[in-house]
Amino acid sequence: MLAYLVKRVFQAIAVMFAISLIGFAIQDNLGDPLRELVGQSVSEEVRQQLRDELGLNDSFMTQYIRFLGNVLQGDLGTSYFFKEPALDVILKKLPATLELVAGATLIIIGLSVPLGVYTAIKPNSVLSRIIMGLSIVGISIPVFLTAILMIFVFSVELGWFPSYGRGDVVHVFGYWETNFATADGWVHIMLPSVALASIMLPLFVRLIRAEMMEVLQSEYVKYARAKGIRPYRIYFVHALKNTLLPVITVGGVQIGTMVAYTILTETVFQWPGMGFMFLEAVNRVDTPLIVAYLIVVGFIFVVTNTIVDLIYGLVNPTVNLARMGA
């Protein structure tokens, strides 16, 4: 178990190295930091002098190693716009994004399993056909369009849900602001969560359905029938457990992807998370913030995938974590 963990952590570190290299390459090539630091009126000589002082004339590798050293100490540069450490800016926006992702994940987990199982057990029923039809629609419509349509229907026409912002948030554990403590917070997070879930949910319904249908054809399900096991136990114990194993692996990757999808959702709903922040940073050519965002999102991706792999090992008895490390 420990050996496997160490192995996975080393893999994660290798991935983070690659991300940091890409991040630095962007920073190195995107815009001129001097333009942001000094105005138009500074002479070329002074600029060169400043460049030397800031180390901008050093070789790519020297600069990259310096960048890495700073990153390891938690210094991801200073945002040009906020004049604050980029990491602090992102960490302040992180709770909003994570809560949005959590909301969408809850919707996905809560709905995809029953819908996927139902459509697999009764593939020819009218309801199954409707669910499968809607899922194609859901996958096909881009998130930003779904979001705008939802605002139009539920905020403008019906007036049930607010169309922007987080509403009443409550401070918990120091700086973390949560939506889940007040009714107003819940109302505000509804539409963005549904919009964010709109692509992943149909994907998961279809994935679970396909896996489940395959499992239902297996010998061990047939054998369970031959033993006279009750149908609900065959579906929910024999079949579902085997169905969810591959789904967990895909699911982990998708949670990471959802963090990236928040850029669109947050922009449409003016959700003050890091996706919205990233888009603003791009508009302002706030290079350190862009790079910091890239590294933080990459880090979240790597961490969730590692955790998912560990969970998979715990759920699947045929994966022996202790032996895999060797």
Partner 1 sequence: MSLLSVRDLTVKFAMRDNTVTALNQISFDLAKGERLGIVGESGAGKSITGFSLMNLLSRPGYIDSGQILFGGQDITQLSEAEMRKIRGNRMAMIFQDPMVTLNPVLTIGQQMVETLRAHRSLSKAEAEQIAILKLREVYIPSPEERLNQYPHELSGGMRQRIIIAMALLLDPELIIADEPTTALDVTIQADIMELLLELCQSNKVGLILITHDLGVVSQMTERTLVMYAGRLIEAGPTREIINDPQHPYTQGLINALPQQTLPGQRLKQIPGNMPSLTAIPTGCPFSPRCEYAVDHCRKILPEIVRYGQVEVACHEVSRLQNTNFEEASA
Least distance in angstroms from the C-beta of 307 to partner 1: 20
Least distance in angstroms from the C-beta of 247 to partner 1: 13
Q: How many other C-beta atoms lie within 10 A of the C-beta of residue 310?
A: 16
Least distance in angstroms from the C-beta of 310 to partner 1: 17
Complex with partner 1: residue 17 or 236, whichever CB lies closer: 236
Least distance in angstroms from the C-beta of 133 to partner 1: 23
Least distance in angstroms from the C-beta of 238 to partner 1: 5
Strands 170-172, 176-178: pairing kind: antiparallel
Complex with partner 1: residue 173 or 232, whichever CB lies closer: 232
Least distance in angstroms from the C-beta of 231 to partner 1: 8
What would you report as the CA-atom Rg of the chain, rounded to the nearest whole angstrom?
24
Complex with partner 1: residue 244 or 290, whichever CB lies closer: 244
Complex with partner 1: residue 90 or 244, whichever CB lies closer: 244
Q: What DSSP assignment string belongs to 258-285? A: HHHHHHHHHHHTT--SHHHHHHHHHHTT
Complex with partner 1: residue 111 or 229, whichever CB lies closer: 229
> In the structure encoding, which two tokens stand for residue 143, read together?
């998130």
Q: Across-strand partners of 176? A: 172
- Contact footprint for partner 1 (CB under 8 A): 217-220, 222-231, 233, 237-238, 241-242, 245, 315-318
Complex with partner 1: residue 55 or 231, whichever CB lies closer: 231
Q: Does residue 13 contact residue 45 with C-beta atoms inside 8 Å?
A: no
d(CA 284, CA 289): 10
Q: Does residue 191 contact residue 269 with C-beta atoms inside 8 Å?
A: yes
Answer positive or negative: Cα dihedral of 8, 23, 76, 56.
Answer: positive
Give 309's contacts (C-beta < 8 A, 6+ positions apart): 8, 249, 252
